[in-house]
Amino acid sequence: MIDDRAPGRREVVAGIDVGGTNTKVLLATTDLEVLGRVDLPTPAHDGGDAILDAAEAAVRSLLDRHRASLAGVGVGAAGVVDPTTGTVLVTANSFTGWAGYGVTDAVAARLGVPATLDNDVNAFLLGEVAAGAVAGERDVLGMTLGTGVGGALVLDGTLFGGPHGAAGEIGHVPGFGDTVCTCGGRGHLETVAGARGMADRYAASTGRRLGTHQVAEAARAGDPDAQAVFAAAGWGVARAVLLTAGILDVTTVVIGGGVARSWDLLAPVISAALADEPPVSGATIRVEPSTLGPDAVALGAAAQVRRLVARR
């Protein structure tokens, strides 16, 4: 095996995006230019050691391929995490033996370099701020429209978690109707702009259950029920953006996730809603779709560990 810390090799950082179904591993230069990536199934029910076994093998394979020297590894993981201790706290039932796992200590011990851990939405936003749609912006709301709706905030150039770690959780803000959310609350943004809620809304209108990709296709084909689903989602996103602009004076937003791939259906509704009720500051609100796509979380994790390494 090539010694990945041998002198003369290009220094790189690795980013790992651990999802319930797939794990993405990438190598990037210290300027966050992606050199290579590997996508692999997540052994989510085999425990933390198995998840990191797979990720470590991918990192070492990429290091060998690119003859690079590893400076640090950043991990973005779905669920609730404690970035300070580098531990996964709570996961969905798609994982077994991952909650309670000390990720950063295990990664550092395996690869002999500094490691960081954050949740996937925070990592998504860090990626887009570092090298994506809102590169260089210092105050940004990030939203991911997936099965649910995730949120994160960068304020004055720094990720802001809040005193209880829940800052930016815009998906669970009420005021969007009275549908029961997966968390047990009512009328949360997730019920109108998350994939599960959108599918539920379409099924309630038509008696047919389709995935959001199929609902999007139906909307483009002129199905009024499908168009109404996307209109409600776009309106909900716009309301969330206006709330953030009014409370925090943050007027730059980046949106990713599977639902956001139907940006052609969401963007006109979001723009119209924002035009109807501009923020009291009079500032122009900028809403951008993700440009990093499936690399965003892993690249954001790499950006996070790059900052840690640079401070040493």
For the segment 240-254, what is each residue's pLDDT rounded down to a tens digit? 999 999 999 999 999
pLDDT band, very low/low/confident/very high, at 44 (cuts 50, 70, 90)? very high
pLDDT of residue 2: 38
Structure confidence by residue, pLDDT tens digits, 197-230? 999 999 999 999 999 999 999 999 999 999 999 9
Residue 296 CA to residue 84 CA, distance in Å, equals 22
- List residues bridging with 105 in a β-sheet: none
The 3-class SS string of 118-165 reads EEHHHHHHHHHHHHCCCCCCCCEEEEEECCCEEEEEEECCEECCCCCC
User: How far apart are the two ends of the chain, measured CA to CA in Å?
Assistant: 28
pLDDT band, very low/low/confident/very high, at 311 (cuts 50, 70, 90)? confident
- Where b means 16+ CB within 10 Å and e means fewer, 35-73 reads ebbbeeebbbeeebebbbebbbebbbebbeebebbbbbb
Confidence (pTM): 0.94
- 86 contacts 44 by C-beta, under 8 angstroms: no
Tokens, residue 132: 């994506």
- pLDDT of residue 53 exceeding 50: yes
pLDDT of residue 25: 98
Select from 183, 177, 142, 180 the least CA-distant residue to 160: 142
Structure confidence by residue, pLDDT tens digits, 262-277? 999 999 999 999 999 9
pLDDT band, very low/low/confident/very high, at 310 (cuts 50, 70, 90)? confident
pLDDT of residue 173: 92
Structure confidence by residue, pLDDT tens digits, 139-183? 999 999 999 999 999 999 999 988 888 889 899 999 999 999 988
- pLDDT of residue 112 exceeding 50: yes
